[in-house]
Amino acid sequence: MVCLRYTSTSNYYCAALTPTGVQIKTVVGGTAAASSIWASTAVTGTSYNLGLSINASGVLTATLGGTVMGTYTPAALATAGSAAVGTVSMEAEFDNVVVTQ
């Protein structure tokens, strides 16, 4: 996952690469929500460029390899936090992490 506005496990927005596609996952104030999964195939041992951005209106956009996979508007909007990368119950390598404002 690549995340933005991360402050804790109870507050974050992340784009996740799953075995069946890309999904935006949010947790705000401990309340979890998620977009649908946009279909794509992830192959073990392959490198992927996964991205997540947010616009001034609060719309999150997930990209994979520079292609927009989908957008998601969270019910609640966090206004601050850090960038983060991570996984849930799996191993991954992260390289060339770029954060821009």
Q: Is the pLDDT of residue 52 over 90?
A: yes
Q: Is the pLDDT of residue 74 over 80?
A: yes
pLDDT at 49: 92
Nearby residues of 45 by Cβ (< 8 Å), 6 or more positions away: none
pTM: 0.85
Compare 95 and 25 and report the one with higher pLDDT.
Answer: 25
pLDDT at 94: 80
Mean pLDDT of 12-36: 91
Q: Is the pLDDT of residue 68 over 90?
A: yes
Give the C-alpha separation, 11 to 78, whole Å.
Answer: 8
pLDDT at 25: 93
Give the C-alpha separation, 62 to 54, whole Å.
Answer: 9
